[in-house]
Amino acid sequence: GENVWGLTACDGPGPARQRYDGAERRFFKYAARGVGLDRIIDDGTIAPTAAVSSLPFAPEIVLPATLEMYHRFGAPLYSTYGFRDAFNPSFRSPPNSQPPAPEQSPAGWVDPDYLGIDQGPIVAMIENYRSELVWRVMRGNAYLRRGLERAGFQGGWLGQPQ
């Protein structure tokens, strides 16, 4: 549905091929999902971090997406440490798979992992939405500011006095 989205580099259920909606679909393992200059990689795998980490920029679409994923898929998608890395509602484990596949849920395939590279942005961006703490600390760091200016960045908060 419209509130279940999130494309970014993440784990996936592949490598595998399955029929979905009458066509054979290729499923990838780890891949940078989304639209590139010369190809599109979208096997139906969704990374909650891509949506949740956008919270400060578009809360009007991110909050409904976050709540939809949490309520519709619940555990196994959201567990002890928050959202798991990725899931694919269109992927079904083949019968007699080895090792035996867990019972299928509405979330389809769910990555068993929590990846720090995805959990970190979720936590940081929720806090930026709440208080802008991470951004305020970053803007107050003279080394970071100098590095950005030396790299040619300008305008925005860099154009404001320290």
Question: pLDDT tens digits, residue range 18-47?
Answer: 988 899 999 999 999 999 899 999 999 999
- In the predicted model, is pLDDT for residue 127 greater than 60? yes
Calpha distance 149→147 (Å, rounded): 5
Please, are residues 139 and 157 in contact by the beta-carbon 8 Å criterion?
A: yes
Q: Which pair of tokens denotes residue 130? A: 């709440």
Lowest-confidence segment of 52-61, 72-81, 87-96 by average pLDDT: 87-96
pTM strictly above 0.75: yes
Predicted confidence at residue 94, as pLDDT, reads 63
Which phi and psi angles does 26 have, rounded to 5°? -95, 130
Lowest-confidence segment of 62-76, 95-109, 129-143 by average pLDDT: 95-109
- In the predicted model, is pLDDT for residue 11 greater than 80? yes
Predicted confidence at residue 39, as pLDDT, reads 92
Span 52-66, average pLDDT: 98
- The CA–CA distances, whole Å, from 108 to 6, 115, 133 equal 16, 19, 36
- The CA–CA distances, whole Å, from 47 to 26, 29, 38, 42, 135 equal 18, 13, 22, 12, 24
Calpha distance 162→158 (Å, rounded): 8
Tokens 């299928």 found at: 104
